[in-house]
Amino acid sequence: MRVISCAYVRLIEQVFGDEAVVDDVSLNLYEGQITVLLGSNGAGKTVLAHILAGNEIQWNIAPSYVQCYCDVTSGSIVINDQNLSTNRNQVNPTIGFCPEDDTLFLDLTVEEHIILFTQLRSNNNDIGDTSMESLMDDLDLTAYRHAEVSTLSNGLRRRLSILLAFVGSTQVIILDGASTGLDPRGKRLMWDMLVKYRPRRTILLITQCMLEADYLADQIAIMVDGRIECNGPPTFLKNTVGLRHSLVITTWPSCDKTDVTAALLNHIPNLLLDSSNALELCYRIPATSKDTFPKLFTALRYGQRKLRIASFTLCTTTIYDVFVSITKPIISRNLSTTKWEPASESCYCPLEELLKFPKVHIRHGWHRLPQQCCTLFKKRAIHMVRSPAVTILQVVSPFIIMMSAFVGIWLQDMQDFPPISLTDLSRSVNYDIVMRI
């Protein structure tokens, strides 16, 4: 198997002072496996990804916003028995990189992006062992084949960035936060794509999604403050941290928690209460007690009404538990050893100064009427300025309708009605008078 060995990678200290963003990192990535790199914000994951991809990183350091570049201070990166520093022209075409931010050309279509990246990584238009149609079908981009990037949504642009990492004869795939900005369906398409092309490539996935790491990872590396603190298969890390089970019991308000704990101790003597609140109890069960689970669940099922238990759930150790157990002590130790400099006196403001609000005169009764009328007129004026089309419709439309009605009445031909003779009118009047008498 081809091995990517990254040993003793360190950034230039002149750029970042005395602190190294990536400090003595050793990592082996294997072909046919997906390695997931986990870490909190600022751990150095993105910097490590750019170093492995052979890129130069541009930084804007506040407050001077000076642009500076970083490179490997010491160590070596070997990909397929070739050193990245000395054979960069031969190694770079075999690396597919999906950066944290989408770097696309807005005027080009999806198909033109694939052709462009194929030509950049090879001398011909052969995109390798995968066809263009297959790649677009994997991420459901076939319908947007001739659409310009400027017309695509952020989620579709993210899919295109992931697709471009697999274009060409790439053997090493580095994905930095690839699932960021994807909807659940897009994430699922990306997961299936990684599993599909895993046998022929070496994949490094940088993410903060624990579910994604647990589903895809063949091995997991956790990075804290520029260092790789642990590396190995998920089951190995769980066993190292301490594989255990968590029993979560949801209770009714009238439940006696002491009786519940006593009933559980009859089956598992080394049970520990992890947390407790008004309606939930969480117990920690060692992995060696799994043989007692059938009797325990039977007792909880038949004693559920007596113990006033609403429901119970059994959970095992997750990657999130491993991540917290490894990173939390290191971060706490670093915070305790950090020397905090006191702020200058100019940063403080007396409480009396903060409480000095401007005086507000509140009007009552009929004195409020002029103020309300003035405010309504101002609001109406602002609305007229912001929406002139609506104002024109509201003012001009009634006038046009009324004028149209008057003109129609004026132009109407009065000869259409039959004439009425005076004799008929006089007879009807006389008849009306006789009837009233």
| CATH number, domain with residue 251 | 3.30.70.1150
| Residue whose structure tokens are 């082996």 | 28
Please report, for residues 51, 60, 68, 343, the alpha-carbon distance to residue 64 in angstroms, rounded to integers and kept in the order given.
Answer: 25, 8, 11, 21
User: 350 — phi, psi (to 5°)?
Assistant: -60, 150
Is residue 186 located within the same domain as residue 232? yes
Is residue 102 located within the same domain as residue 50? yes
**Do β-strands 82-83 and 76-79 pair in parallel, antiparallel, or remain unpaired?**
antiparallel
Is residue 155 located within the same domain as residue 269? no
The two structure tokens encoding residue 66: 């000076």
Could you give the CA distance from residue 310 to residue 321 in angstroms, rounded to a whole number?
A: 26
Q: Residue 165 maps to which CATH number?
A: 3.40.50.300
Is residue 130 located within the same domain as residue 16? yes
Q: Of 37, 27, 137, which is closest to residue 79 (Cα–Cα)?
A: 27
Residue 24 lies in a domain: yes
Is residue 105 located within the same domain as residue 210? yes
Is residue 287 located within the same domain as residue 227? no
Is residue 253 located within the same domain as residue 224? no
Is residue 264 located within the same domain as residue 195? no
Residue 386 lies in a domain: no
Domain boundary among 274, 291, 316: 316
Please report, for residues 15, 69, 103, 437, the alpha-carbon distance to residue 66 in angstroms, rounded to integers and kept in the order given.
Answer: 10, 10, 22, 110
Is residue 260 located within the same domain as residue 221? no
Is residue 256 located within the same domain as residue 301? yes
Could you give the CA distance from residue 32 to residue 203 in angstroms, rounded to a whole number?
A: 8
pLDDT reported for residue 24:
78
The two structure tokens encoding residue 97: 């990189």
Domain boundary among 291, 316, 341: 316
Is residue 55 located within the same domain as residue 19? yes
Residue 405 lies in a domain: no
Q: Which structural domain, as residue segments, surrounds residue 18? A: 3-238
Residue 307 lies in a domain: yes
pLDDT reported for residue 189:
93
Q: Which amino acid is at 319?
A: I
Helix axes 293-302, 257-265, angle to 10 degrees: 150
Domain boundary among 297, 316, 335: 316
Residue 431 lies in a domain: no
User: 406 — phi, psi (to 5°)?
Assistant: -65, -45
Residue 397 lies in a domain: no
Question: Considering its fold, how many domains does the chain have in total?
Answer: 2
pTM of structure? 0.66
Mean pLDDT split into 10-residue runs, the chain, 437 residues = 41 49 81 90 84 67 44 70 78 87 90 89 58 88 92 93 89 89 92 91 90 91 87 86 80 85 86 82 82 85 86 84 82 60 55 60 77 88 86 84 83 60 53 46
Is residue 129 located within the same domain as residue 206? yes
